């Protein structure tokens, strides 16, 4: 029997899906869709879903695994200069992706791809730069061990990169670029952003 999929990103998929499900959406975009797991779950809520990823191998694997899902397509492209068909989108989500890019560039582009009245949901990473950061991050050590022991660890196979922006920088930049954004620091070395575009 296969073990349940779990890692730090998957832990927040239910949160992302809950936000998206709060109102009817015509279409959705998953930026950094990777192996397609989150996009496939979105397709159960939204009629038309596009997964965008820079890595062709990930796009190919996601297409193989989830290509038959109605309304779901995967596209290879760079967030910075790719405009997927159907843009702008009622819901734009991105999990553990924007730290691969310059923060301000990524957030501006995600905002552009979000339709008026639509919602942007980001799950991201940042780097500890203060004593308080390290204290808060330490709170994830024990829960992480418990969850790994219970569920194992799912390796998504996508290219990885360390975050460069501090928690404070992420909060300040997002609040400047996305007025009214809801920023929350969370367990497992993650933060979430929810922004409803006017």
* Count of residues in the chain: 198
Boundaries of domain holding 162: 10-128+155-196
Answer with the residue of higher pLDDT: 162 or 186: 186
56-89 confidence digits (pLDDT tens): 999 999 999 998 899 999 999 999 999 999 999 9
Neighbours of 69 (CB within 10 A): 16
DSSP state of 188: T
Whether residue 147 is contained in a domain is answered as no
The answer to the question of residue 55 being in a domain is yes
CATH number, residue 80: 3.40.50.150
In a domain, 134, yes or no: no
* Sign of torsion over alpha carbons 26, 30, 34, 35: negative
Task: Quote the pLDDT of residue 163.
Answer: 87
Whether residue 45 is contained in a domain is answered as yes
| pLDDT per position as a tens digit, 10-58 | 889 999 999 999 999 999 999 999 999 999 999 999 999 999 999 999 9
Asked whether residue 150 is domain-assigned, the answer is: no
pLDDT over threshold 70, residue 4: no
Q: Is the pTM of this model over 0.85?
A: yes
Residue 90: burial class (beta carbons within 10 Å; 0-12, 13-18, 19+) = buried
Residue of 17, 183, 26 whose CA lies nearest to 107: 183
- Establish if 21 belongs to a structural domain: yes
Q: Is residue 19 in a domain?
A: yes
**How many domains does the chain fold into?**
1
The DSSP H or E segment spanning 9 is none
Q: pLDDT tens digits for 111-153?
A: 999 999 999 999 999 999 999 989 988 888 887 787 777 877 7
pLDDT tens digits, one per residue of 95-110:
999 988 999 999 999 9
Residue 138 counted as domain residue: no
Residue 177 sits at φ, ψ, to 5 deg, of: -85, -25
Dihedral sign, CA of 162, 184, 195, 73?
positive
């Amino acid at each position: 029997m296969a073990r349940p999929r779990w890692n730090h990103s998957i832990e927040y998929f239910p949160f992302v899906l809950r936000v998206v499900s709060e109102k009817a959406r015509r279409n959705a975009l998953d930026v950094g869709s990777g192996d397609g797991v989150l996009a496939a779950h979105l397709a159960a809520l939204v009629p038309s879903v596009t997964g965008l990823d820079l890595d062709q191998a990930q796009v190919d694997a996601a297409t193989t695994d989830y290509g038959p899902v109605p309304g779901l397509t995967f596209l290879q492209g760079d967030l910075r200069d790719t405009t997927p068909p159907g843009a702008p989108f009622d819901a734009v989500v991105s999990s553990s992706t924007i730290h691969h890019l310059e923060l301000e560039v990524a957030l501006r582009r995600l905002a552009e791809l979000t339709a008026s009245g639509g919602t942007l949901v980001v799950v991201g990473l940042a780097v500890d730069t203060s004593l308080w950061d390290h204290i808060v991050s330490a709170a994830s050590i024990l829960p992480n061990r418990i969850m790994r022991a219970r569920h194992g660890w799912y390796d998504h196979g996508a290219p990885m990169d360390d975050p460069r922006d501090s928690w404070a920088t992420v909060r300040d930049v997002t609040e400047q670029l996305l007025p009214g954004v809801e920023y929350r620091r969370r367990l497992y070395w993650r933060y979430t952003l929810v922004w409803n575009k006017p």
